[in-house]
Structure 1
Amino acid sequence: MTTLKIRELKVKRSKLSAQATAIMQKATDENRAMEGDEETQFDSIMEERDALDSTITKAERLLEDDRRGIDDIPDDGRPGNRNVEAQMTAWNAYLRDGRPGLNAEHARALNAGNDPEGGFLVAPEQFVQELLQNVDDMTPIRGLATVHRLTTAESLGIPTREEDLDDAEWTSEVGTGSQDDGLRFGKRELRPHPLAKRVLVSRKLLRSSSMNPEQIVRERMAYRHATAQENGFMTGNGSQRALGLFTVGNADLGGITTARDVDVPTSGTGFVHNATDGYAADALITAKYTLKGAYHAKAHWLFHRLILAEIRKIKDANGQYIWKAGLGDQPDTILEIPHILSEFAPSTMANNDYIGMLGDFSFYHIVDALQFEVQRLIELYATTNQIGFIGRAECDGMPVMEEPFVRLQSNDTVA
């Protein structure tokens, strides 16, 4: 897709945003909520606009991939670039034909001399970098989190401030103030845990001259690893896996405790907007200002798409919608703060369910072990004319402080 076509899609997206805003504004001007037909039309417009968002994001990523493909290996004849090309040529031969497809030159390029038949092969760095880039594109948390790459150490300790000093004291010119021993530091340890996924690719597809086997395997591996990691970043219990944002933390586990929870009035299936039971908009305002102002510049709301569909229709006590459609390249906002979506964020609104979060996600730390191994399964899927690939990586993640996060919890006020 060309840059011009992407620009045209963005214009169409802006028009849809304007249409959705007009429907909301009409209801606001008439001091009422959207009616049934309006809600149906609004939802239809937003579904189309969300689909455009996805198309635009993918198209921009492909253009960026093309650009990196040109820039990463310039045709200048340098030995380092020839080595990268040799590695990728050998890697594609391995993906397509297995060890029998590797000649002596390929083996040297991949340092695969001791790799047994049917065993594991460490992927070239370029393959790993592209894999991680795909994972970043598919998991919103990765795009905002602080990501560390480990090459030798088994774990990474993150120093955190557990207790702070009191304020400075007004004193005389020669005074030094009283001694304060309140400053305390702790350390959260991030240890990459094994993560594996198996994907199947038809032999015909791998051998097709028009298809790049490296791209096929990389994209499928990236998707499967991304979904597993995203699930852990949301709800992982911290035992041999990531510690999730929606997992209740404690003194031993770390993470985000219930002290950072804010109740939002719900009816079990939707948000409440009345004077008797409360206004959901007021609860979201409370959540926004529970988060210190220093975090607002980088903060995002985090929701499942089903929860966001309901939030888009919330009004405050003055009858104003709190969701605003972004125009052009500007993001949609809720109370002037942009949002991200995750399919693995909570999606139900029963009493005490977590329904979303506000936070500066740079305080969620992810650690990756760079070595990524692929095992090629030759015989196991022979009856279906497929080749199996098992990809193995190591990853961990957790919030290193709880102060930059506020969780939203459903409070079924009309149960």
Structure 2
Amino acid sequence: MTEQVMQANKVAPEVKAIPETVTAAFDEFMEAFEAFKDVNDRRLGEIEQKLTSDIVTRDKVDRINRAMDDQKKVLDQLVLKKARPQLGSARANTHGGAELSPDVAEHKAAFDAYVRRGDEAGLRELEAKAMSAGSGADGGYLVPDETDSEIGRRVAVVSPMRALSTVRTVSTAVLKKPFATTGLATGWVAETAARPQTNAPQLAELSFPTMELYAMPAATQALLDDAAVDIEAWIAGEVDIVFAEQEGDAFIRGDGVNKPKGFLSYTAVADSVWTWGNLGYIATGAAGAWKSTGPSDTLVDAIYSLKAGHRQNGTFMLNRKVQADIRKFKDADGNYMWRPPASAGQPATLMGFPVAEAEEMPDVAAGSLSIAFGDFRSGYLVVDRAGVRILRDPYSAKPYVLFYTTKRVGGGVQNFEAIKLVKFAVS
């Protein structure tokens, strides 16, 4: 074994068992990053000296990069698990436990009876008391508030778009939102000069319909009869991840047909000719690749293509593969532009701006829009129709009981100047 190979192996991160705590996972991630910097610095030094890097060094950089991605996934999973709250909107009692309010407890008990035994009497009685229609024409009952909010909170952690965007809850099928594309016109005049009428602001109406998202987990009657099983926790656990995955995909690349419209589905034009209704992009200058010299200049251009008011709230959105490329970038002073999280649960940063990982973002390819930078809170709107519904079906898949769980959600771009894209193309 050559001395060069021995040196490369020396800095390889040690393979360890899966850590059990967030702190341990974060420490291992930081150790891997330090190893990555050492090997990547060697690779860059070899390029300066020999105009190319040794294949052993390149392979080591790629392996450590993949190891960092794996460790970051473990860290994210542990943070997610820790972030999951307890079910129930409860208040502390004098014994240090949790006590449900009478109306919540009554709804919870009635819903539990419906899920376990199909007993609708309690829920129907509650509807009569409230003088409201809790079941739609297609059947089903509203999930109690505590379960509904549990699903919402856990989805917000899993889906980066939901966590970054503005979320509105509506009681109708469509949210219509007026938006001022131009403001009032003004002008300077002399003391005695005429005051001609100025132009009025231009308004655009944006429409955000809500679409149905569903899941249909199954359970045996024996499981439902087991009093030790927390049915509400089970439903939330079955539904929240699949809802989050579907939502995250739709908010980014959904085509708007029976689903929300993702921001990548809007027409993208060069930022120099941007107009309202389109998203502007900055080209890398190379088809399916970064520029050979100064690749990070494209990221700087993307940052400053946003107006200052949006730029200060900017976030980069990209997938793990693209992030692995960017980890190798350095500024003119030799400092890495990508920085690891300051602590567990915090995002990595790129040029001082947070990085949100979204696997729905495309890989680098000719003409791909693989990076987004923007103020997503201003730029994208998520619309939730109030309530998650469950319809119990004990007949269609005997001996299993199906739970047809639905929610209505929509989304789309609400401010077309708040999000910019990076296109891997010549122009």
Q: Which TM-score band applies after superposition, normalised by the shorter structure?
A: 0.7 to 0.9
Deviation at 1:97, TM superposition (A): 2.0
Partner of 2:74: 51
* Distance apart, 1:81 and its partner CA: 1.2
Q: Which residue of 1 aligns with 2:22?
A: 9
Q: Distance in 1 between matches of 2:37 and 2:133?
A: 65
Give the aligned partner of residue 388 of structure 2.
372
> In the alignment, is the contact (CA less than 8 A) between 1:266 and 1:280 conserved in 2?
no
Q: Which amino acid aligns with 2:145?
A: E
Displacement after TM superposition at 1:182 (Å): 5.6
Structure 1 residues 289-308: aligned runs within 5 Å:
289-308=304-323
- Residue equivalent to 1:3: none
Superposition deviation, residue 74 in structure 1:
4.4
Alignment of 1:35-114 (within 5 A): 35-61=58-84, 65-66=85-86, 69=88, 72-75=90-93, 81-99=101-119, 102=120, 104-105=121-122, 107-109=124-126
Change (3 A) 1:110 1:206: farther
Higher RCO (C-alpha under 8 Å, 6+ residues apart): 1
Query: Which aligned pairs between 1:198-347 and structure 2 lie closer than 5 A?
Result: 198-249=216-267, 257-258=278-279, 260-265=280-285, 268=288, 271-272=289-290, 274-275=292-293, 279-316=294-331, 320-328=335-343, 330-346=346-362
Amino acid in structure 2 at the alignment position of 1:20: F
Q: How far does residue 317 in structure 1 lie from its aligned partner after superposition? A: 6.1
| TM-score (norm: length of structure 1) | 0.80
Is the alpha carbon distance of 1:305 and 1:256 closer, same or farther for their aligned partners in structure 2, counting shifts above 3 Å?
A: farther
SS of corresponding position for 1:56: helix
The reply on whether 1:408 has 2:422 as its aligned counterpart is: yes
Label 1:257 to 1:378 Cα distance change in 2 as closer, same or farther (>3 A). Answer: same
User: How far apart in 2 are the matches of 1:250 and 1:273?
Assistant: 21
Gaps of 5+ in 2: 1-18, 48-56, 270-274
Shift of 1:154: 3.8
Q: Is the 8 A contact 2:348 2:354 kept in 1?
A: yes
Q: Is the 8 A contact 2:210 2:385 kept in 1?
A: yes
Identity across the alignment (%): 19
> Of 371, 387, 399, which aligns to 2:401?
387
Give me the whole-angstrom Cα distance separating, in 1, the residues matched to 2:27 and 2:312: 24
Question: Normalized against structure 2, the TM-score is what?
Answer: 0.78
2:43, 2:58 within 8 Å by CA — same for their partners in 1? Answer: no
Q: Structure 1, residues 220-241: CA drift from partner, whole Å, max 9, x if none?
A: 2222222222222111222343
Letter of the 1:233 partner, please give it.
F
- Residue correspondence of structure 1 range 107-186 to structure 2 within 5 A: 107-109=124-126, 119-151=139-171, 153-165=172-184, 169=187, 171=189, 179-181=197-199, 183-186=201-204
| Preserved contact between residue 290 and residue 424 of structure 2 (Cα < 8 Å) | no
**Mapped partners of 2:30, 2:303: distance in 1:** 24
CA shift at 1:140, angstroms? Answer: 1.3
Q: Which runs of 5+ in 1 are unaligned?
A: 1-5
- Alpha-carbon offset, residue 351 of structure 1: 0.9
Contact 1:316 1:322 survives alignment (8 Å):
yes
Give the paired residue count. Answer: 384
In structure 2, how many angstroms separate the alpha carbons of the residues matched to 1:114 and 1:183?
A: 42
Amino acid in structure 2 at the alignment position of 1:59: K
1:398 pairs with 408, 412, 416, which one? Answer: 412
**Alpha carbons 1:13, 1:52 under 8 Å: kept:** yes
2: CA distance, partners of 1:388 / 1:356 = 40
- Tell me the residue number matched to 2:36: 23
SS of the aligned residue for 2:199 comes to coil
The 1-side partners of 2:192 and 2:222 are apart by: 82
RMSD: 3.5
- For residues 340 and 134 of structure 2, the distance between their equivalents in structure 1, rounded to whole angstroms, comes to 57
Residue identity in the other structure for 1:37:
K
Aligned to 2:369: 354
